């Protein structure tokens, strides 16, 4: 297995893995999003390739800039294929993001994880992350 930058050809696999965590996105949606993200210097998507046509996991990291805090890197998403969990794939992806953040001049990596994802929380603690905040997420759907 090798880690590399995501390519447009990974869209189907990224969508497949997203579905494993309950995010029902189409291949075409992933393609559109990847196309945007690949143009922005402050976003990076990595995959771990199992075989040429199959990935074991993916991660999206990006810069986050807000007025009330220093800028930091944030994990936009991390998904490891069910059959590859507990084999170091997630940690490899996260460490790659940490290196990306370091190279971009960020001094912190943050992430958000749904309250129900207890296994994910244990994983993050095991690799050195601390839970520093509890929050609720509110959303308003804006219709066209």
Domains in the chain with CATH codes: 2-126 (3.40.630.30)
pLDDT, average across residues 51-59 = 87
Which pLDDT score is estimated for 123? 87
- pTM for this one? 0.89
Identify the pLDDT of residue 54.
85
**Phi, then psi, of 96 in degrees rounded to 5:** -65, -40
131 or 104, which is more confident: 104
Q: Which long-range contacts (CB under 8 A, 24 or more apart) does 81-86 make?
A: 81/17, 81/20, 81/50, 81/55, 81/56, 81/57, 82/20, 84/48, 84/50, 84/56, 84/57
Sheet containing 2-5, strands listed edge to edge, beginning at the edge strand earlier in sequence:
2-5, 43-51, 54-64, 72-80, 109-111
pLDDT tens digits for range 62-95: 999 999 989 999 999 999 998 999 999 999 999 9
- In sequence order, what are the residues at sequence separation of 6 or more whose Cβ sits closer than 8 angstroms to the Cβ of residue 15? 25, 26, 27, 29, 30
Q: Per DSSP, what are the bridge partners of residue 141?
A: none
């Amino acid at each position: 297995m090798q880690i590399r930058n995501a390519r447009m050809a990974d869209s189907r696999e990224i969508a497949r893995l997203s579905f494993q965590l309950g995010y029902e996105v189409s291949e075409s949606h992933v393609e559109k999003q990847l196309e945007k993200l690949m143009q922005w210097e402050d976003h990076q998507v990595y995959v771990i390739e199992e075989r040429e046509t199959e990935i074991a996991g993916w991660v999206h990291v990006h810069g986050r800039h807000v007025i009330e805090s220093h800028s930091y890197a944030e994990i936009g998403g991390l998904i490891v294929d069910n059959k590859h969990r507990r084999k170091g794939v997630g940690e490899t992806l996260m460490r790659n993001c940490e290196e990306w953040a370091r190279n971009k001049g960020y001094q912190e990596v943050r992430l958000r994880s749904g309250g129900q994802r207890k296994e994910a929380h244990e994983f993050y603690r095991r690799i050195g992350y601390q839970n520093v905040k509890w929050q609720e997420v509110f959303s308003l759907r804006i219709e066209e």
